[in-house]
Chains A and B, each alone.
Chain A
């Protein structure tokens, strides 16, 4: 285990800048920034936030696509003693307004290209005072009570010197919103200590070095994407940031020209890479490939091994509430390809039965996690927090994370993910609460019952299917439903399949039950996608 002198997350950046100011820190399309440049730019943004009145512990929301503004803005929020909250740029107005109000954000950093989305949200944001808007142009304007400022003009005037930090490691660094089974997103509270601990553990087992060049096509709003940047700051490497994986051919070219050594993927990306591998593409410089979010199939594993012949492949498992739980050492990949391995350094896990007692090998129970990376709870949701964080039976005031994930251990102690206790769907590497999709569908006039389930899908991991019962006289096509969902939900939440049924199974008390929904629907299907 390496010993770090860093106690606040953003100090990683100043440490890397002090060590090698001229080295490339961040590459985004045609823009390149050295460590010295990112540090100075973060100082300017932080001072601009201070001028706008940001106080210790205030929330700064960043509604941006992957970009230098996002990567540097979240560090600036910390350097100005604030807490950063990244909101996916694909998030629609209603949810953006919900998040801004839920965390009571004081400042929003966003981009004018998202104007049609954020403008109505600004009007609803009760606590927001300022918005820093990329490409807004000259002059401050007002939307409701929010003053909007042009990003570039505002920060150009500010000093590059970082303000003196007033925070300590047990202060919150970030709130990361995650889909909740009740339908409302929950803000996962993470301290500097939580995030520094997680970054140290992960870079230890990946054996990251300052000459690592990491590609990130995953959104920084997703903790797997976010940590690529945080970890590059930790070991002083280089991050090659891309907005998306929409154009695989262009990304493969970037991997070659930038000599990328670290490639984080989710199964959907592995699946897309397969056709390039089959045509003979080889990425010789890649030293390691990581996968999380859902297990890789054996076919994906073979594809990645051939595509990246010099890479070690890490299968991993984690959840936002504690960042990462475990990883499979690459040496075990051939022997135990379906295992997610061993707990990462610095933490401990248990597989327990309903009575909380640890189970013997091969028995399935709930995974419980303890360690310095376990979240402090859900922002202002003490009741849900109490379901997830429960006191240690041994150490006063230590909270253990009850993950809701079903796991087992083999006789060697290696871990296997079995399934979820709740009905959360994992698709394209993102968690989706069926309730959130159902809430959107119920807003369509004439929808009587809606039941959303996940089904196995080779590309997406799980695909979303909605079973719908319409009121008499209502007619929709599957396309109508999908288009409606597209206007209200992030793309990964939009159902892939829509099946119309005459009824859905219900409990005696009238609650929809999804247990027998497939069998039931064979007889009840009246239209839409085949089963």
Chain B
């Protein structure tokens, strides 16, 4: 799966599950998901579980930090790193 496909999959999940199926323009790839209230603690866990199920890796507790999950860009980079590892 290419980076573009990864990005699309993550964006679709966030748009469908957290933004009521909102239009793609409502989600910018560099916006803080926490500060814009797209995620809260429960949704952060849902997002992590989605990544684990979709890509078959485990997210360590220590990896669950804003640097890896607070923007679409950060999530894509994290997934790519994990898949490349």
Pick from A90, A249, A483, A486: contact of B61, CB below 8 A: A249
Which residues of B have CB within 8 Å of A243? 34-35
Is the CB–CB distance between A248 and B34 below 8 Å?
A: no
CB proximity to B under 8 Å, residues A191-215: none
* Complex Cα spacing A339 to B42, Å: 30
The verdict on A250 contacting B65 (CB below 8 Å), with A244-B40, A244-B41 known, is yes
Contacts of A272 in B (CB 8 A): 41
In chain B between 25 and 40, which residues have their CB closer than 8 angstroms to a CB of chain A? 31-32, 34-37, 39-40
B39 engages A90 (CB within 8 Å): no
Q: Which residue of A lies closest to B65 (CB)?
A: A250
Q: Does B4 contact A (CB under 8 A)?
A: no
Bound Cα distance A231, B64 (Å): 31
Q: Is the CB of B41 within 8 A of A486?
A: no
Verify B20–A487 contact, CB threshold 8 A. Answer: yes
Name the residue of chain A whose CB is nearest to the CB of B69. Answer: A247
- The CA-CA distance from A249 to B69 in the complex, in Å, is 12
Question: A8 an interface residue at 8 Å Cβ cutoff?
Answer: no
Which residues of the partner chain A approach B61 to less than 8 Å between Cβ atoms?
A: 248-249, 275-276, 279
Asked if B24 is an interface residue, CB under 8 A from chain A, the answer is: no
Residues of B contacting A246 in the complex (Cβ-Cβ under 8 angstroms):
34, 39-41, 44, 66
Evaluate contact between A245 and B20: CB separation under 8 angstroms. Answer: no
Query: What residues on A are CB-neighbors of B42 within 8 Å?
Result: 491
Query: Which of A253, A487, A491 is most buried by chain B, counting CB atoms within 10 A of its CB?
Result: A491
Contacts of B21 in A (CB 8 A): 483
CB distance from B7 to the nearest CB of A (A): 22
- A-side interface residues, number (CB < 8 Å): 23
B40 nearest CB neighbor, chain A only: A491
Docked complex Cα distance between A504 and B82 (Å):
49
- Specify which chain B residues have a CB less than 8 angstroms from the CB of A247 in the assembled complex: 44, 64-66, 69
Residue of B nearest to A279 (CB): B61
Give chain A residues whose Cβ lies under 8 Å from the Cβ of B69: 247
Q: Hey, which chain B residues are within 8 Å of A244, CB to CB?
A: 34, 40-41
B53 interface residue per 8 A CB criterion: no
Q: Give the complex CA separation of A272 and B37 in angstroms.
A: 20
Interface presence of A298 (CB below 8 A): no
Q: Which of A244-261 contact B (CB under 8 A)?
A: 244-250, 253
Task: Chain B residues near A65: list those with CB within 8 A.
Answer: 35
What are the interface flags for A80-93 relative to B under an 8 Å C-beta threshold, 1 for contact and 0 otherwise?
00000000011000
- B75, chain A: closest CB distance, angstroms: 13
Complex CA gap A253/B21 in Å reads 35
CB distance from B62 to the nearest CB of A (A): 5
Q: Enumerate chain A residues within 8 angstroms of B31, measured Cβ to Cβ.
A: 113
Min C-beta distance of B15 to chain A, whole Å: 12
State the CA gap A65–B35 with chains docked (Å): 8
Is B37 touching A90 in the complex (CB atoms < 8 A)? yes
- With A276-B61, A279-B61 as contacts: A245 and B41 at CB distance below 8 Å: yes
CA distance A111 to B66 in the complex (A): 20
| Given A244-B40, A245-B41, A491-B42, A113 and B64 contact (CB-CB distance below 8 Å) | no
Identity of the chain A residue whose Cβ is nearest the Cβ of B68 in the assembled complex: A247
Chain A residues near B37 (CB-CB < 8 A) = 89-90, 114, 491
Residues of chain B within 8 A of A245, CB atoms compared: 41
Tell me the minimal C-beta distance from A23 to chain B in angstroms.
28
B36 x A113 contact (CB < 8 A): yes
Contact digits for B10-23, partner A, Cβ 8 Å, 1 yes 0 no: 00000000101100
- Whose C-beta in chain B lies nearest to the C-beta of A269? B41
Partner of B20, one of A253, A275, A486: A486
Q: Bits for A261-280, please: 1 = Cβ < 8 Å to B, else 0.
A: 00000000000100110010
Closest A residue to B32 by beta carbon equals A113
**Chain A residue contacts of B65, Cβ below 8 A:** 247, 249-250, 253
- 26 residue pairs from A and B, CB less than 8 Å apart: A65-B35, A90-B40, A113-B31, A113-B32, A113-B36, A114-B36, A243-B34, A243-B35, A244-B34, A245-B41, A246-B40, A246-B41, A246-B44, A247-B65, A248-B61, A248-B64, A249-B61, A249-B64, A249-B65, A250-B64, A253-B65, A275-B61, A276-B61, A484-B20, A487-B20, A491-B40
> Which residues from chain A sit less than 8 Å from chain B, CB to CB?
65, 89-90, 113-114, 243-250, 253, 272, 275-276, 279, 483-484, 486-487, 491
| B contact set with A: CB distance below 8 Å | 18, 20-21, 31-32, 34-37, 39-42, 44, 61-66, 69
Given contacts A246-B40, A249-B63, A484-B20, 12 further A-B pairs with CB under 8 A are A114-B36, A243-B35, A246-B41, A246-B44, A249-B61, A249-B62, A249-B64, A249-B65, A250-B64, A487-B20, A491-B37, A491-B40
